Amino acid sequence: MRIQRRRLALIVGAAFIFFAGLGAGLGAATLQDVLRGEGGLAFAARVAQLFPSLIDVRETGDIPSAGDLKPLSTFWEVREQIKRNFVHALSEEEEKELTYGALRGMLAALKDPYTRFMTAEEYGVFQTDTKGEFEGIGAQLWAVMDEKTGEQQIVVLSLIEGGPAADTDLKPKDIIIKVDGHSIKGLPIAAVAKRIRGKRDTKVMLTVVREGLDKPKDIEVTRERVEMPVVEYRMLQDKIGYVWLQTFNRQAEEKTRAAIADLEKQGMRGLILDLTGNTGGLLDMAIKVASVFVSGDNIVWIEERGRRARKLPSEGEPIDSDLPLAVLISHTSASASEILAGAIQDFGRGTIVGQKSFGKAKVQTVIPLNDGSALAVTTANYLTPKKRSVDQHGITPDRIIPEPPNAKDISVDELHEQQLQATVKIIKQKLAAAASASAAPVGG
């Protein structure tokens, strides 16, 4: 008890000194303003070093201890030294970039490619993407790692049909190395997208490297208003419906249901759901689209830190469960696509065909910050309905369609068409089997 009283006295004494110092030195400034400022944070960190036994609360797990605050104090110390001693005075914009660079470095230390910092401009691009409309060139980009150099490359994944880039010489698999003559080496994909996008009727010059060309090629594109093709659909031979879901933005469920309803009116007998090139999107949309095909209380399981896995149920009525279904996936089918494919596979609702998917089973929470920027931080892992983890493993198709020997020599569109025709054959087999079963005599 005596030790506790002494500790309490020390706390009260330290608090008195702290607040008295604030009141005398800062006048009209509020305590909240001080603690938000650089000086307040640095001072609080130093108080932690002077009175470590007062602030050490390791038992709580989520509250920083005095030891945890040492790097924070060092950060502010380095920042102040740069501001005082750098060869020229930093402008307000340079100070902001200094802080943003430190944030990016801090997040990079987590070694999680999906946790990232977004400036206000990058966050605006992100929000636009989820709505499905933007002003730009109409090309979907993909960040890949060069196996030889270990460096990131920004590759053109596909061109949006009807978009301005589709009318130029830009091609899928082109590697972008410059935008308007400036190198993009080392830039995150969001920053590259920001440079490429811009007001309609303005021009942007892309410098690309392409297999088969001796030197980089410059391609000029005039920006226009582009609408992301969330869903493309049509009726194939033998009344086989085809729906290509290309992203999980806010329109995904509505447009998927509308496409299927139209195909049903045309007499659809079987359905191919194409997820090739679909790199994901919103978690809630993945659940809503999965609910178009399956029903249950465990469409996906979410594992968060310090909590038991919790299941998320379906939302809405599924389509006819007797309709033969095949889901086509590829190496670039990721995240929300894998939630959807995993649910259909685990519920036994359809046949997954194609190639093993990308293997991203992490959920990001986007946290808006005070200056309009945002933090996307990985906050959970997801599991399929049977609690399978696909992270780094991907979804393995029930029927693998191998790439042809000349895959490197043909275009992405040609390769996709070959995969689709192989899937059509699988649906035809399903239809033939169903017809045979219904025609079989019943004994009495």
Q: What is the 3-state secondary structure (H, E, C) of the chain?
A: CHHHHHHHHHHHHHHHHHHHHHHHHHCCCCHHHHHHCHHHHHHHHHHHHHCHHHHCCHHHCCCCCHHHHHHHHHHHHHHHHHHHHCCCCCCHHHHHHHHHHHHHHHHHCCCCCCCEEECHHHHHHHHHHHHCEEEECCEEEEEEECCCCCCEEEEEEEECCCCHHHHCCCCCCCEEEEECCEECCCCCHHHHHHHHCCCCCCEEEEEEECCCCCCCEEEEEECEEEECCCEEEEECHHHEEEEEECCECCCHHHHHHHHHHHHHHCCCCEEEEECCCCCCECHHHHHHHHCCCCCCCCCEEEEECCCCCEEECCCCCCCCCCCCEEEEECCCCCCHHHHHHHHHHHCCCCEEEECCCCCCCEEEEEEECCCCCEEEEEEEEEECCCCCCCCCCCCCCCEECCCCCCHHHCCHHHHHHHHHHHHHHHHHHHHHHHHHHHHCCCCC
pLDDT at residue 8 in the model: 45
Question: Which residues participate in catalysis according to the annotation?
Answer: 335, 346, 360
Domain membership of residue 127 (yes or no) is no
Residues 218 and 318 occupy one common structural domain? no
pLDDT at residue 134 in the model: 76
Residues 262 and 372 occupy one common structural domain? yes
Residues 245 and 181 occupy one common structural domain? no
pLDDT digits (tens, 9 = 90+) for 81-133: 999 999 999 999 898 889 899 998 889 889 888 899 988 888 887 787 776 66
pLDDT tops 70 at residue 5: no
pLDDT at residue 373 in the model: 92
Domain membership of residue 166 (yes or no) is yes
pLDDT at residue 314 in the model: 96
Out of 227, 248, 271, pick the residue that ends a domain: 227
Residues 346 and 382 occupy one common structural domain? yes
pLDDT at residue 3 in the model: 45
We report the CATH number of the domain holding residue 253 as 3.90.226.10
pLDDT digits (tens, 9 = 90+) for 291-341: 999 999 999 999 999 899 999 999 999 999 999 999 999 988 999 999 999
Residues 425 and 293 occupy one common structural domain? yes
Residues 163 and 215 occupy one common structural domain? yes
Mean pLDDT of 134-161: 81
Domain membership of residue 108 (yes or no) is no
pLDDT digits (tens, 9 = 90+) for 240-289: 999 999 999 889 999 999 999 999 999 999 999 999 989 898 999 999 99
Range of the domain at 425: 231-435
Out of 170, 193, 227, pick the residue that ends a domain: 227
Reported as a pLDDT band with limits 50, 70 and 90, residue 211 is confident
Q: Which residue has the higher pLDDT, 144 or 239?
A: 239
Question: How far is the C-alpha of 362 from the C-alpha of 382, rounded, in Å?
Answer: 6
| Closest CA relative to residue 245, chosen from 165, 166, 362, 339 | 339
Mean pLDDT of 351-380: 93
Residues 315 and 368 occupy one common structural domain? yes
Reported as a pLDDT band with limits 50, 70 and 90, residue 6 is very low
Domain membership of residue 97 (yes or no) is no
Give percent above pLDDT 90 in the chain.
Answer: 51
Question: How far is the C-alpha of 158 from the C-alpha of 137, rounded, in Å?
Answer: 12
Mean pLDDT of 395-404: 93
Residues 71 and 140 occupy one common structural domain? no
Residues 326 and 426 occupy one common structural domain? yes
We report the CATH number of the domain holding residue 198 as 2.30.42.10
Out of 54, 70, 89, pick the residue that ends a domain: 89
Residues 397 and 319 occupy one common structural domain? yes
Residues 190 and 240 occupy one common structural domain? no
Q: What is the pTM of this model?
A: 0.70
Reported as a pLDDT band with limits 50, 70 and 90, residue 376 is very high
Domain membership of residue 143 (yes or no) is yes
Residue type, 312: L
Q: Which of 19-28, 277-286, 348-357 has the highest mean pLDDT?
A: 348-357
pLDDT at residue 147 in the model: 67
**Degrees to nearest 5, angle at CA 44 with 39 and 47:** 125
pLDDT tops 60 at residue 437: yes
Question: How far is the C-alpha of 283 from the C-alpha of 58, rounded, in Å?
Answer: 33
Please state which of the ranges 62-71, 168-177, 432-441 shows the lowest mean pLDDT: 62-71
Q: Which residue has the higher pLDDT, 271 or 408?
A: 271
Domain membership of residue 110 (yes or no) is no
pLDDT at residue 409 in the model: 76
Mean pLDDT of 190-208: 91
Residues 215 and 339 occupy one common structural domain? no
Mean pLDDT of 391-402: 94
pLDDT at residue 408 in the model: 74
Mean pLDDT of 150-171: 86
pLDDT tops 70 at residue 443: no
Domain membership of residue 96 (yes or no) is no
Token representation of residue 300: 């996906």
How many domains does the chain contain in total?
Answer: 3
Phi (first) and psi of residue 174, to 5 degrees: -65, 140
Give the CA dihedral 385, 390, 394, 398, nearest 10 degrees: -30
Domain membership of residue 112 (yes or no) is no
